Amino acid sequence: LCEACGSISSRLQDARASTEVLLAQTARLRSEATLNEQRSNLATAFTKTFGLTPEQEAVLNAPADGEMQVEPLLEALWRVQEAHERAQSLLDGPHQALALQVIATMAAHEERAYASLYRWVHAQCSQLQTVTAAGCSFVAAGCYCGCC
C-alpha cells in the first residue's frame, strides 16, 4: 500500500510538473498571439494611411497605350499626394527611414500619374484639334449644318 501511494504521489508530481509547463507555454503563446494581433492591426492601419488600393495601383500601372479613365486616375493621384503629405509628418520622429521610403514610393507613383494625365490631356487636345479643323472646313465651305 505504501509503495502504491508512493507511485501515485510520484505520478501526481510528474503530472503537476507537466501541467505547469503546459500552462507556461499556453500563457507565452497567448502573449505572442496578442502581440501578433497588435502588429497586424498596426500593419493594417499603416496600409490604410500610406498605401494604395489594388484598383489605384492598377490605374497607376496601366499600360500607356490602353484606354484610360481620368476620374480614377485623379483619385489615385489625390491619394498618392495625401500619403506623401502624411509621410512628411513622420520625418520629425523616430521613423525617418520609413518616411523616406514612403515618400520615394509615392513620388514614383506621382510621376507615373502625371505622365498618364499628360497622355490623356494630349489625346483630348488632339481630338479637339480634329473636331475644330473639321468645323473650320464646314465654315470655309459656307455650310454650317455639317453635311459637307
67-117 per-position pLDDT tens digit: 888 999 999 999 999 999 999 998 988 989 999 999 999 999 999 999 999
Give pLDDT, residue 136. Answer: 55
Contact 56, 79 (CB under 8 A): yes
Contacts of 110 (CB under 8 A, 6+ apart): 77, 80, 81, 84
Cell of residue 3, nine digits: 509503495
Going by the DSSP 8-state scheme, the letter that residue 146 receives in this structure is: S
pLDDT digits (tens, 9 = 90+) for 27-80: 999 999 999 999 999 999 999 999 999 999 999 988 888 788 899 999 999 999
- Pick from 21, 2, 25: which is nearest to 13 by CA? 21
- Pick from 127, 116, 103: which is nearest to 77 by CA? 116
Contacts of 109 (CB under 8 A, 6+ apart): 52, 60, 76, 80
Give pLDDT, residue 135. Answer: 56
| The pLDDT of residue 144 is above 50 | no
